[in-house]
Structure 1
Amino acid sequence: MNQETKEIISLLKNSPSVFHVVKNISDKLLEKGFMELDEHKPFIVEKGKNYFVRRNSSSIIAFKIPLNCQDLSFLGTATHNDSPTYKLKPHPFVKKGNLTLLDVEPYGGMIHSTWLDRPLSLAGRVLLGKGEKIEEKLFNINRPLLTIPNLAIHMNRNINDGYAYNPAVDLLPLFGEDLKEDDSFESFLLKELGEKKGVSLLSHDLYLYNFDEPRAFGIKEEFLSSPKLDDLASVYSSLLGFLESENERKISLFASFDNEEVGSLSRQGANSTFLKDTYNRLSKALEGHLEEDCANSFLLSIDNAHANHPNHLEKSDQTTNVLLNKGIVIKSNANQSYTTDALGSAIIKMAASKGNIPYQEFTNRSDLRGGSTLGNISNSELSLLSCDIGLPQLAMHSANETMGLKDLDYMRRFVSLFFGTKIHFEGNSFFFD
């Protein structure tokens, strides 16, 4: 395992919520000399410098502007940083006898059963009232705090025949026992934060997370088991590829959006104006030609792909095999769930071949509806030539997912190569210089 892969795994380990993910990305960018822009103020940017901007603390766009760039066209990657989980309700305490549970609701489409009978914890952000000021703070209880206990088989004899978990009944996590009448969730949070008197909890965005750590396994430790591989494995591998790349001609752009798992319709989602607003403001600041520059740009939508499941090969398409540790995946769908077309696919194949990076192709079985992702969603606001790629994985949307360790490095190397590509377009043809 090389140092870059170890770094990706370390970042996975320290990503209990989307807010922590964006903080991790911001810290990496600041380490590399990037400067943060504020959406509430004018963008003052210069060629030869690197910048990033955040929206709602859960989405981020970074870009590198070459000193000698001839125009403002860009090569970009777009990922999502959210994963299926359970969100805490505003007043979560539920008393059942001597026990206290937390009231939660599902966020996204998870495999419910995988969240039961395992150590869980709580992370996100809280908004505190301090005099006339509202202050945002990251929050993470970095220890096992909760579990969602199954009903014993003696009380549910048919559970192994298939059981439909009811989120309002079956999926409330166990929090504590014998809480006093005046104990409140607010006082618990303020105590965990170490806040003094005079501070009030105004609101929170808090989510459950699986306390299991990422682990290599297999006879040669060739596989990785981890929470949130979809899509943090792509987020962090593409981030490292972005940071280590150089391009003297085109702007390099890295974007990571929140709320893909619930449709991307929020103001920080891929269907928001975040990418369009950022690029418009960059274009105005540097006196670019927006329409021409967009036409000469290319975006990679990077979200994980389904590998062939060894126990259920019949669920995969009969002509496209996607295997762990065999390379990045180009994803296609006739009904435009993905942005990939022949032109975008050809660009990816040529770029991968130039770097000796293996690639595979994915399509769903024709009688199975697959998921969608953020590529075409973001294209509704800023239309770009694009292609959907991803990392092959098993058990997507499980509390623990599985992928091949080699593929992490293939993606990092491919993204680095992609950002360094000197590509230009002439009509429907393209050229690698």
Structure 2
Amino acid sequence: MNARQQVQDCLDFIDASPSPWHVIASLEQRLRDFGFQRLHETEHWSLSAGGRYYVVRDDSSIVMFVAGHKDLAQTGFKILGAHTDSPGLRLKPNPVLNSEQLLRLGVEVYGGPILATFSDRDLSLAGRIAYRTDDGTIASRLLRFEQPLLRLPNLAIHMNRSVNEDGLKLNKQTELPLLFANATQQQLASDRFIELLTQVAGLAVEQILSWEFNIYDTQKGVFWGDNQAFYADSQLDNLASCHAGLTALLNESALNSGNTLVCAFFDHEEIGSESCKGAAGSFLPDVLERVALALDLDKQGYHRALANSLMISADMAHAYQPNFPNAYEPGHKIIVNRGPVIKINANHRYASTCLSEAAFMQICRQAEVPFQKYAHRGDLPCGSTIGPIASAKLGMATVDVGNPMWAMHSARESAGVQDHTYMIKVLNYFFSSI
């Protein structure tokens, strides 16, 4: 595929994945098309060299891997880490608010979104429900409302005269509930929401037990700019990295390289990763150890493999926006469509060290891909990634990288078409090389 086709495939992937639970469903479909077999943590694993496998934990984190035929203790794992969640709004458990004949749905802020960007957009719901089956067991099911269902209308400028000078500020408790419907005297407010769930799920009211819903923007991804050099969508942070990693993995040169390859995509990065399925949990160490044992390594061999491994933590990076020059470190203004970014922070908010940085630089040069280096402005707090967390759990050399993007954590983010192709190319070289 050419650059535009690869980015269109990325946009299609993102638009099909409006919640972390939908991300995993999208990934599973693509993995099955390439012969990957699902493993379950409750079962015994028997792996074969060259086998393609994946494991899912709690519907929104996944580790996919190819069992190589090379000596794992000597060659180590080649690991790509990314995350499936994005900052935004999540529905509260009892969401319906009846206010002056209007129904609103109460939401909670997830992570650190730019709240103002969710106003005046065509929003809807996507997530999963837990329900009771006919035999009394509990199961889950994905749900998605395709049509615009919710909205956060701005206050007119006549009632907020200073909005252009002071910016749009929204109280997280009182000013974020989303408009949903007109109230009626014939129906209890909460019944209307449950009625919608039953219609979409095809279940009886008494079967539905609980839910987790993401608020998502229904507008699909687009190309924009002169020569359509840029693209925009929701959740580029970090589904663009997930797509690049998956595309690199599913290339025949990687699949047939003989290396033991791993892509680990975690939920809960945006809220600190401290969960059973986050990067700070046991998921990746559990899977790697079981892979090593199933490939006949002993405990010492497993630790040798970790010591010989490299992890690339792929998460998007802050592109230079010339309207705001004072927001950037003067010597580290990264430019869209000029190549992947190595992210460096002295306080280890990024996992890169000079050696892992050099390793990625070498991979880029061998793949004939340009690269840039980023450091955050010293008087601004620096964000972080799964890199330092997963690296600490495993004791593994790790480098933090990402593609340049604008408007990180907005409801609508932008990045460069050529950068996406660069990232796929360098990750494929990483997976395929000796």
Q: If the length of structure 1 is used for normalisation, what is the TM-score?
A: 0.94
1:15-414 map, 5 Å: 15-69=17-71, 71=73, 73-131=76-134, 132-162=136-166, 163-179=168-184, 180-182=186-188, 183-195=191-203, 197=204, 200-244=207-251, 245-246=254-255, 248-288=257-297, 289-414=301-426
- Distance (Å, rounded) in 1 between the aligned partners of 2:38 and 2:128: 20
Deviation of 1:139 (Å): 0.5
Deviation of 1:397 (Å): 0.4
User: Is the CA contact 1:329–1:392 (under 8 Å) kept in the aligned structure 2?
Assistant: yes
User: Is the CA contact 2:72–2:260 (under 8 Å) kept in the aligned structure 1?
Assistant: no
- Distance (Å, rounded) in 2 between the aligned partners of 1:246 and 1:348: 20
Matched letter for residue 329 of structure 1: V
Matched letter for residue 225 of structure 2: G
Query: Which SS does the other structure have where 1:202 is aligned?
Result: strand
Deviation of 1:69 (Å): 4.1
- Distance (Å, rounded) in 2 between the aligned partners of 1:304 and 1:223: 15
- Distance (Å, rounded) in 1 between the aligned partners of 2:258 and 2:149: 50
Matched letter for residue 137 of structure 1: R
Matched letter for residue 196 of structure 2: F
- Distance (Å, rounded) in 1 between the aligned partners of 2:8 and 2:226: 19
User: Is the CA contact 1:352–1:414 (under 8 Å) kept in the aligned structure 2?
Assistant: yes
Structure 2 residues without counterparts, runs of 5 or longer: none
- Distance (Å, rounded) in 2 between the aligned partners of 1:135 and 1:190: 15
- Distance (Å, rounded) in 1 between the aligned partners of 2:386 and 2:255: 26
Deviation of 1:346 (Å): 0.7
User: Is the CA contact 1:91–1:185 (under 8 Å) kept in the aligned structure 2?
Assistant: no
Deviation of 1:198 (Å): 7.1
Of 241-250 and 274-283, more deviation after overlay is shown by 241-250
- Distance (Å, rounded) in 2 between the aligned partners of 1:96 and 1:249: 62
Instruction: Tell me the residue number matched to 1:425.
Output: none
Query: Which SS does the other structure have where 1:255 is aligned?
Result: strand
Deviation of 1:159 (Å): 1.9
Q: Which structure shows the higher helix fraction?
A: 2
Deviation of 1:249 (Å): 4.3
For residues 228 and 198 of structure 1, do their structure 2 counterparts lie closer, same or farther at Cα, with a shift above 3 Å needed? closer
For residues 70 and 232 of structure 1, do their structure 2 counterparts lie closer, same or farther at Cα, with a shift above 3 Å needed? closer
User: Is the CA contact 2:194–2:205 (under 8 Å) kept in the aligned structure 1?
Assistant: no
- Distance (Å, rounded) in 2 between the aligned partners of 1:156 and 1:233: 36
Matched letter for residue 21 of structure 1: V
Query: Which SS does the other structure have where 1:103 is aligned?
Result: strand
- Distance (Å, rounded) in 1 between the aligned partners of 2:382 and 2:256: 35
Q: How many residues align?
A: 421
Query: What are the superposed Cα offsets for residues 323-369 of structure 1, whole Å, 9 maximum, x if unpaired?
Result: 00000000000000011011011111111111110110000112222
Query: What are the superposed Cα offsets for residues 201-231 of structure 1, whole Å, 9 maximum, x if unpaired?
Result: 1000111001111110002110111111100
- Distance (Å, rounded) in 2 between the aligned partners of 1:194 and 1:247: 43
Q: If the length of structure 2 is used for normalisation, what is the TM-score?
A: 0.94
For residues 111 and 370 of structure 1, do their structure 2 counterparts lie closer, same or farther at Cα, with a shift above 3 Å needed? same
Deviation of 1:67 (Å): 3.1
- Distance (Å, rounded) in 2 between the aligned partners of 1:39 and 1:143: 36
Query: What are the superposed Cα offsets for residues 250-270 of structure 1, whole Å, 9 maximum, x if unpaired?
Result: 301001000100000011101
For residues 9 and 308 of structure 1, do their structure 2 counterparts lie closer, same or farther at Cα, with a shift above 3 Å needed? same
Query: Which SS does the other structure have where 1:231 is aligned?
Result: helix
- Distance (Å, rounded) in 2 between the aligned partners of 1:2 and 1:315: 31
Query: What are the superposed Cα offsets for residues 281-334 of structure 1, whole Å, 9 maximum, x if unpaired?
Result: 111222211110100010000000001111012211111220000000000000
- Distance (Å, rounded) in 2 between the aligned partners of 1:20 and 1:404: 25
Of 324-333 and 144-153, more deviation after overlay is shown by 144-153
| Percent sequence identity over aligned pairs | 34
Query: What are the superposed Cα offsets for residues 120-164 of structure 1, whole Å, 9 maximum, x if unpaired?
Result: 010000011123121210000011111011111112222222243
- Distance (Å, rounded) in 1 between the aligned partners of 2:110 and 2:195: 25
